[in-house]
Amino acid sequence: MTERVVWVANESGHDYEPAARYGPTKSLSIGNQNTFQLDRLAYHLSRGIGQFTHEDDYLLVSGSPIINMLAFNFWLLRHSKCNLLQWKASTREYILTTVSRDQMASLMERSLHG
């Protein structure tokens, strides 16, 4: 099995050292991105997630909400689950939440059909 990687959705100058306990960090995007040119941004994110990530890797939420939303969406299109790392400021650590594609589909089905 390959080493699990922490993929930072948008590296934005924060200290990602607390995430090192999950694995080495790599970036899907860096710094300010033009979120009004979604086609270009979506292309680069989908390419990175499609070619380099593994299902057991982690997606670290950081930076632009648009970039995080796109990365999460592409992740669940590529993999059946997403190991999401979110920063909890009160404890100064990343908290792991695993979300599956099936969970999301089930929630949508229930909301549409009661």
Domain membership flag for residue 48? yes
Is the predicted pLDDT of residue 34 greater than 90, yes or no?
no
Domain membership flag for residue 1? no
Q: What is the per-residue pLDDT for 1? A: 62
* Beta-bridge partners for 63: none
Mean pLDDT of the chain: 94
The verdict on pTM exceeding 0.85 is yes
**Nearest 5°: phi and psi at 7?**
-95, 115
Is the predicted pLDDT of residue 9 greater than 90, yes or no?
yes
Per-residue pLDDT tens digits for 66-83: 999 999 999 999 999 999
Our count of domains for the chain comes to: 1
Rounded to 5°, angle at Cα 52 from 34 and 30: 30
* CATH number, domain containing residue 52: 3.40.50
